[in-house]
Structure 1
Amino acid sequence: MPPKFIKILLFLIFPALILIGCSESDPVINDIRSQGKLIVLTRNAPTTYYLGADDAPAGFEYDLSMALADSLNVEVEYKIYDKIEDILAAINNGEGHLVAAGLTHTDSRAVNHIFGPSYKSVQQQVVCHRAGRLPKGTEDLLTRSILIIAESSYQETLKELQKDYPKLNWETTSELSTEQVLEKIVNKEVDCTVIDSNIFTLNRRYFPALITAFPISEQQNLAWVLPPDAEFFQQYVSDWFVKIEKNSLLSIIKERYYGYADIFDYYNNHVFLKRIKSRLPKYESAFRQYAEQYQVPWTLLAAQSYQESGWNAKARSHTGVRGLMMLTQTTAKAMGIKKRIDPLQSIKGGAKYLNYMLKRVPEDVADADRVWFALAAYNVGFAHMLDARKLARELGKSPSTWHDMREILPLLSQKKYYKNLKYGYARGSEPVKYIDRIRYYQDVLVHVLVSNS
């Protein structure tokens, strides 16, 4: 038997061997095995678990917990909770196998709960409306109204600060979600709140009127919460996190949700939200029609069109590309499009061309990344994608994941790399920026659609 095959076989059966060895002495692992499923307790939020495009489950915690379940070779059941106190009580009462809800590992929580390893660092931030005078420090909060989530780590931080600032006051809520609290600030019903940096990073796209005033804590770590008496399961989870850090799976999931979040621009975001209302309705039915015909998500097609033209049917660039999808004459002709500035023809041509690129994506590319490879080829050309894959192999990177390819593509503009490639120089950073913006626009669009529904 070839050594490589033996390694793969051991990689696949290793989790099962651990489960068999530990099940007799660990009630959690034994319960997972007997039920054939991992029960995950979580919250409905952009950083944890939500229904995304086409009503498919998504979220950082969703992807991470699904990967854990895959390693255990079991199914997953998700239980959604609204309140932090309820979800922490539920795990201690045996209602699930882990809490994957973006909770910080704090000293006070560690007294009554078992935590797994940390997987992301965050910092608590004071968030306020960008209009008006922003608080610069804790003393400025004494004259501000503050609303935070009850039983949160934010409450712990404010209580600690209250020792030095006795007049510091705030209100808590168990009924409102973080997004609802942010809406109150947007509507100027409340001055400020405190939330983790990762939560604000994702939510500022939806609430561009908000801004970080100042950090109010040191760096803290997010971690899963495990049931009591889960010693062996805790060790399994710890070993699993070590493995996914080594094989880049953790980095891939982080990139999937946070990799494009930093491109936030207040003005551009504001314009995009306005154009969802003013321009998108004219073309939405066409996006839906041709997206269905050519088997791509319509929100992705609409986001790509916005990145290309800002939903301007008469858009033209200095290179001669035109229309909603900014097609070249060559591409339009190949796709059977006669009039590029005709909205329906342009959308059809763009959808058809994206579908064409999707079919050319090599089979070894991960399913979740195939559309990003296709969009990169749409932007920079399929030949340069082949060069990038070749270079990835030479540099010990994966040619099959977008996580690695987004690092490799910019190298195509460096002479020491492109001089040895078949198709030569390319502005490889462009497709990376192109896809980041499309992902950004699609995410905001889906959020608006879900909120409106």
Structure 2
Amino acid sequence: MNRILIIFLTLLLLASCQRVAVENTKLIPDEIDKTVLNVGTVYGSQIYITTGQGEAGFDFEMASRFAEYLNLDLAMKPYSNIKDLYQALDKGEIDLIAAGLTDTATRRENFRLGPPLYRVNQVLVYKQGTHPPKHISQLKESITVITDSSFVETLAQLQHTYTELTWEQEKDKDSEELLAMIARGEIPYTIADSTTFEINRRYMPELRAGLVLKEKQAIVWLLPAKNSDRLMSSLLSFWHDEKRNGSLAQLNEKYFAHVKRFDYVDTRAFLRAIDNKLPKYKERFQYYAGDLDWRKLAATAYQESHWNPNARSPTGVRGLMMLTLPTAKQMGIENRLDAEQSIKGGAKYLSDILNRLPESIPENQRMWFALASYNIGYGHVEDARKLASSMGLNPSAWRDIKEVLPLLRKRKYYTKTRYGYARGNEAVHYVDNIRRYYDTLVWIDNQNQLLEDEQDLIEDAKLAEQLSTDHDTLTGAQPQ
């Protein structure tokens, strides 16, 4: 009996030890059963923004795909500065950092770095009219950069050679705020990644890029230095899949390809038109857009006519949306020069094209195919898609189609198509322009919303103060 009891107690003890061992393994972050991927980030046009149409940004879209790959929900957590991001990762509040940060020696010492997502140059930025230095040795004024940014490390390295180089660090501002300070003439110089500069000069056309301080710096995600083996392994597999299937290249095209072309005069004219012309037609764009984003409809109209309801071209297209006479009749439009009718007809025509497009084209790229069709005709775009297939490219990826469309001008290619010659290169520029106009309209909407929110806070504070004053008056309380 005693022997049986001893055996039973021994088995119970072993089971208890085994249970403790299992529980201890679950203390390792990599082994915890998770339902949410917590991603730390910062706000930025190409990183993470929230709009009336939802969340957007390169890092946001990549993080969404990665969370889906892991079969987890995504929680994007924006922080006010890079130092707070580092601390959040160290405390385990977030699983990784996706904030458009570059690969630096310091970050390699303190974190595990993911594979490169895209590459940027670090450029010196100044305001138009400022005499830019031709060499770093000629830089006499201080440079303002973000605290804990890769730019601080770059400047520290340069200072070993150029001992008179000076800079100031801003803890509570981001790159876009510093660029705005440049545009207002409040600071002489800052440093920005080339992508950030190219995106923001559409809203602040006075910005100019000078010296390139570093070239082809990899943008990466940061993972904890310890206990992140499984997460890193998953990230590498995910990155490999995204690169192989073209998704990574498509995201690069979506956020960065169309912003490289820049026209200062056109950008200034567009910003003036937003103030002076758009208010006349905004409500009509919003009303007739239907399921379309009204800002894409408005951007298309600006590309077509610069919001001039009496516009005409030598080819016979007329009005705000520059409709041909057959298209206008097909859409039930009697007067192409009537702004409301033109907007209604253009919106209906775009919607019809979108409905005709093959289902294989992803939702986030369908508008670019539709706009190209609006410009050169649906048949020519279909020719380009078939040509892309014959060349081993993806006929449902705008990134590939924009490479093929210019070939429709060459006899070698257009003679093999059903609809023949087309100015495909113009269609590519047409779509790129509309995408830039659309991005600008989204940015301005966001800025206006921020101002409204700030004004609401001010009004709430005034109301609270007034209520407090009224209460003191009624009760006879004396102010402290």
TM-score (norm 2): 0.85
3-state SS of 1:101 partner: strand
Please tell me whether residue 350 in structure 1 is matched to residue 317 in structure 2: no
Aligned to 2:163: 166
Aligned to 1:39: 38
Q: What whole-Å deviation, never above 9, does each CA across 1:107-155 have from its counterpart, x for those lacking one?
A: 111111111112212121110011131122222222x232110111111
Please tell me whether residue 50 in structure 1 is matched to residue 49 in structure 2: yes
Please tell me whether residue 187 in structure 1 is matched to residue 188 in structure 2: no
RMSD of the alignment, in Å? 1.6
Please tell me whether residue 316 in structure 1 is matched to residue 278 in structure 2: no
Aligned to 2:421: 425
Of 328, 338, 341, the match for 2:337:
341
TM-score (norm 1): 0.90
- For 1:444, give the aligned amino acid: T
The question of whether the paired residues in 1 share the 8 Å contact of 2:142 and 2:165 is answered with: no
Taking the aligned partners of 1:350 and 1:51, their CA distance within structure 2 comes to: 28
Taking the aligned partners of 1:297 and 1:74, their CA distance within structure 2 comes to: 29
Aligned to 2:65: 67
Aligned to 2:202: 205
- For 1:283, give the aligned amino acid: Y
Q: What whole-Å deviation, never above 9, does each CA across 1:51-88 have from its counterpart, x for those lacking one?
A: 24x33111111111111112222211110011111102
Structure 1: which 5+ runs fail to align? 1-23
The question of whether the paired residues in 2 share the 8 Å contact of 1:37 and 1:76 is answered with: yes
The number of aligned residues is 424
Taking the aligned partners of 2:148 and 2:29, their CA distance within structure 1 comes to: 26
Taking the aligned partners of 1:36 and 1:277, their CA distance within structure 2 comes to: 46
Aligned to 2:390: 394
The question of whether the paired residues in 2 share the 8 Å contact of 1:26 and 1:233 is answered with: no
Taking the aligned partners of 1:250 and 1:25, their CA distance within structure 2 comes to: 33
- For 1:39, give the aligned amino acid: N
Please tell me whether residue 108 in structure 1 is matched to residue 106 in structure 2: yes
Please tell me whether residue 330 in structure 1 is matched to residue 329 in structure 2: no
Distance 1:328 1:28, change over 3 A: farther
Of 376, 379, 397, the match for 2:372:
376
Q: What whole-Å deviation, never above 9, does each CA across 1:206-259 have from its counterpart, x for those lacking one?
A: 111010111112432111001232123212212221221111111000001011
Deviation at 1:314, TM superposition (A): 0.8
Taking the aligned partners of 1:214 and 1:300, their CA distance within structure 2 comes to: 35
Of 427, 446, 451, the match for 1:450:
446
The question of whether the paired residues in 1 share the 8 Å contact of 2:48 and 2:56 is answered with: yes
Aligned to 1:30: 31
Taking the aligned partners of 1:219 and 1:300, their CA distance within structure 2 comes to: 32
3-state SS of 1:172 partner: strand
Distance 1:321 1:106, change over 3 A: same
Deviation at 1:315, TM superposition (A): 0.7
The question of whether the paired residues in 2 share the 8 Å contact of 1:26 and 1:229 is answered with: no
The question of whether the paired residues in 2 share the 8 Å contact of 1:115 and 1:224 is answered with: yes
Taking the aligned partners of 1:431 and 1:450, their CA distance within structure 2 comes to: 29
Structure 2: which 5+ runs fail to align? 1-24, 450-480
- For 2:194, give the aligned amino acid: S
The question of whether the paired residues in 2 share the 8 Å contact of 1:327 and 1:350 is answered with: yes
Deviation at 1:29, TM superposition (A): 4.4
Aligned to 1:270: 268
Query: For 1:252-263, what aligned pairs fall within 5 Å after superposition?
Result: 252-263=250-261
Fraction of identical pairs, as percent: 41
Deviation at 1:28, TM superposition (A): 4.6
Taking the aligned partners of 2:266 and 2:247, their CA distance within structure 1 comes to: 32
Of 433, 437, 450, the match for 2:433:
437
The question of whether the paired residues in 1 share the 8 Å contact of 2:143 and 2:166 is answered with: yes
